[in-house]
Amino acid sequence: MKKFMLCLYTALVLLILFSCAKPAFDIPKIKGEIHTILDKQKTSWNEKNVEGFMEDYWKSKDFTFQSGNNRLHGWEALYSRYKKSYTGENWGELDFNDIEIKILSNEYAYVLGRWKLSFKDSLKEGLFTIIFQRRSEGWKIIHDHSSS
């Protein structure tokens, strides 16, 4: 009888612990949401829509972007860089590949990948790491590190 009561007590304690535990996050759902953002970015870029491309970047002065030897602080700084650097003939067609989405928690994820800009007579390509944070307005890119 003591053994039965001990097993019953142990089962009850485990049931209480598991029912109080925070539910696990839905990895496939989060990956799908982030893939949707990347697809939307690619489409916006290829429509020459910088505003659409930048829509899922965090609109904050605390946003950071790094490329080569440069670091920018703030959404406006990156927006200005894109508006200045990519116009007319300087506008290539964007593609992403080799995407790896890593979920850190319900609020944070990062993406590793390769970017490619195809121009009329040339090609630029490189790697990127972007960090996403789930905010009240949805997933936002809070840091972007791109290299070529």
Domain locations along the chain: 26-147
CB 96 within 8 A of CB 105: no
* Per-residue tokens: 43: 């489409």
Q: Which amino acid is at 43?
A: T
Q: Which is more confident, 13 or 85?
A: 85
Per CATH, the number for 26-147 is: 3.10.450.50
pLDDT at 146 over 90: yes
Residue 9: what pLDDT? 60
pLDDT at 14 over 60: no
How far does Cα 113 stand from its chain's mean position? Answer: 11
Q: Which band of pLDDT confidence, cut at 50, 70 and 90, is reported for residue 24?
A: confident
CB 145 within 8 A of CB 130: yes
Residue 3: what pLDDT? 62
pLDDT at 23 over 80: no
Q: What is the mean pLDDT of residues 3-12?
A: 53
What's the residue count for the chain? 148
> Which strand ranges, in their side-by-side order, compose the sheet holding 64-67?
70-73, 64-67, 138-147, 123-135, 108-118, 93-103
Residue 31: what pLDDT? 97
Q: Which band of pLDDT confidence, cut at 50, 70 and 90, is reported for residue 129?
A: very high
Instruction: List the one residue out of 91, 129, 124 whose CA is nearest residue 111.
Output: 129
Task: Annotate 85-139 with DSSP letters as a single string.
Answer: H--GGG-PEEEEEEEEEEE-SSSEEEEEEEEEEE-SS-EEEEEEEEEEEEETTEE
* Per-residue tokens: 109: 């994820």
Predicted TM-score (pTM) of this structure: 0.82
